[in-house]
Structure 1
Amino acid sequence: MVAASMGSFLSAKAVANDDITWGVNSAPPFHIYDGEYKDAGVCDALVSAFQQELPQNIHNIRKLPSKRITMIMKRSKNLCFPCVIKNSPYNDTFLYSDTTHKYAPHGVITNRDTAQYITAKYGYPVRFEELAKDTDLRFGQPDERRYGKLQPFIDDYLLNSSNFSFISGQKSHVSVLAMILNDRIDYTVDYEMIKKYYQRTHDDGAKLSFIPIAEYDGQVIEGAVGCTRNEWGKRTIETLNSAISSVQSNSEFQRALDRWLGPNRPR
């Protein structure tokens, strides 16, 4: 019995003392590298909350492009990526923590005039499969963005067509909104908080509109931490899960969620 207890103690100590390496990328308002809201993104606050609740661990933060983060994790190198969609089929190589927070799903983001056209033809919430068939509207998909149950509609009706644009580069999910307002494309799909960030940081942001999507009616997105699927990742997920209840109560994290997701966000 003494040997078993000592083994459990050593195992728990090993878990508690592992370094946690966080991979973060410039994707406001998830992570914000500069400007008025520097380090005040949702995921910035999530990582900070874990640092506060797990002071016994050394937390290393690496700023990396999102593709680099995915490549490192697929190569079984030790890394955790905050604010992933829990159990996403696009990240099936990750290990996932328990749910850290919840938010509403993607919607259509467009300008005010196009929003009137879309809702008149395809309803509010918009029937996205029908919208995707509209050859008169140009769609932009930011680099590394995937849309769950919507992606097959994009692949079937938009991808490889003349009205599809793939937007690459740093902050592509923000750049695509500028393209909408400059009439280079007509709409994209993303979270409402992306529009909110743009409106708070750009003078022309008030011209953007957000339309909920009918195919996502009643659904809620569960956020989590994704870690490399190896022994280090298993230990790290165990450590993170032990702190999630405290992280969810962290005042800084709650303020960030209220700022970007709104006080009426899913709980």
Structure 2
Amino acid sequence: MVAASMGSFLSAKAVANDDITWGVNSAPPFHIYDGEYKDAGVCDALVSAFQQELPQNIHNIRKLPSKRITMIMKRSKNLCFPCVIKNSPYNDTFLYSDTTHKYAPHGVITNRDTAQYITAKYGYPVRFEELAKDTDLRFGQPDERRYGKLQPFIDDYLLNSSNFSFISGQKSHVSVLAMILNDRIDYTVDYEMIKTYYQRTHDDGAKLSFIPIAEYDGQVIEGAVGCTRNEWGKRTIETLNSAISSVQSNSEFQRALDRWLGPNRPR
């Protein structure tokens, strides 16, 4: 049972123990609201797999901006956010499920000509700390994106400089790629699947290039579900964990992972 209404959140005591409330936001290819790949994002498939594997639970889906999802959870309202980075320091108030899937870390996304310049000067994989010091290149950081061990380099060398742009608005992580191709900025940092989505939905996407980052060499990102840190969240995480093995084998979820992460994705 899926409820997409935007009514007010109920208190923990008022919600049945078997309800699972999902907070989703428009962030392709994690969640895709429209177009050819509507409802076929990685996280769309993850939520659908949990619905299939936990039919005894009522699954409520609420479409919300990511900032509001985080705010609601920090206020101890009942909500789960699929496809978060497990044990991320940026969401240290969440309760995390076991690992649901794995994917490669961020890389540099730029146009083909700039990619040649970057790799010639800073290597392949690119040494990001050195790249961040390059005052001839303009960097764009989408709203809500944080970069873990790379963030200090951005804060030290790019933030508050004339070659830094903060990109806000819905689907900012996709809009920034259009800005690269329109020569408004030179590069950004994101997952390769963001480039893949852009290439499949825009005619000029083939002009984009992805460069792995040396500081992330050998690392793998673990995805998980994050739930509110309260009694409801504890029960819900236990329920989700009981189904994760089956979810990982779910054919729909596996197809979504292959579609956006590729068949050679981390496993």
TM-score by length of 2: 0.94
Pair 236,135 (structure 1): closer, same or farther in 2 beyond 3 Å: same
* 8 Å contact from structure 1 (residues 93, 229) kept in 2: yes
Specify the SS of the correspondent of 1:9: coil
State whether residues 16 and 239 of structure 1, in contact with CA within 8 Å, keep that contact through their aligned partners in structure 2.
Answer: no
Q: CA RMSD in A?
A: 6.6
1:134 aligned counterpart, secondary structure: coil
What is the rounded CA distance, in whole Å, between the counterparts of 1:27 and 1:73 in structure 2? 19
Of the two, which has the highest radius of gyration? 1
In the superposition, relative to structure 1, how do residues 4 and 135 fare at CA in structure 2: closer, same or farther (>3 Å)?
closer
> 1:14–1:199: structure 2 CA closer, same or farther, 3 Å change rule?
same
CA contact (8 A) 1:16 1:56 kept: no
Tell me, what secondary structure is at the counterpart of 2:166? strand
Offset at residue 195 of structure 1 (A): 0.1
TM-superposed deviation, 1:252: 0.1
Calculate the TM-score normalised by the size of structure 1. Answer: 0.94
SS in 2 for 1:48: helix
Aligned to 2:67: 67
Q: Tell me: CA distance 1:242–1:206, structure 2 relative to 1, closer, same or farther (3 Å).
A: same
Range with bigger deviation, 76-85 or 5-14: 5-14
Q: Deviations over 1:197-253 (max 9, x none)?
A: 000000000000000000000000000000000010000000000000000000000
- Give the direction of change, closer, same or farther, for the CA distance of 1:162–1:251 in structure 2 (3 Å limit): same
Residue ranges of structure 2 left out of the alignment (5+ in a row): none
Contact 1:101 1:223 in 2 (8 A): yes
CA distance in 1 between partners of 2:10 and 2:77 (Å) = 24
Offset at residue 75 of structure 1 (A): 0.5
Number of residue pairs the alignment of both structures matches:
267
CA separation in 2, counterparts of 1:179 and 1:6?
33
1:88-122, Cα deviation, whole Å (9 max, x unpaired)? 00000100000000000000000000000000000
**Shift in alpha-carbon separation, 1:230–1:9, aligned structure 2, 3 A:** closer
Post-superposition offset of 1:256: 0.1
1:1-267 map, 5 Å:
17-267=17-267
* Alpha-carbon shift at residue 71 of structure 1 (Å): 0.4
Displacement of 1:183 in angstroms is 0.2
C-alpha change, 1:141 and 1:41, in structure 2 (3 Å) is same
Q: 1:115 to 1:236 in 2, by over 3 A?
A: same
Q: Which structure shows the higher helix fraction?
A: 1
> Does the aligned pair in 1 maintain the 2:17–2:232 contact within 8 Å?
no
Q: Please report how far the alpha carbon of residue 16 of structure 1 lies from its aligned counterpart in structure 2 after TM superposition.
A: 9.7
Does the CA-based 8 Å contact 1:138-1:163 persist in structure 2? Answer: yes
User: Are the equivalent residues in 2 in contact too, given 1:111–1:181 (CA < 8 A)?
Assistant: yes
Contact 1:15 1:235 in 2 (8 A): no
Please state how far the C-alpha of 1:17 moved relative to its aligned partner.
4.7
Question: What 5-or-longer segments of structure 1 have no aligned partner?
Answer: none
Structure 1 residues 182 and 67: alpha-carbon distance in aligned structure 2, compared to 1, 3 A threshold:
same
SS of 1:6 mapped into structure 2 = coil
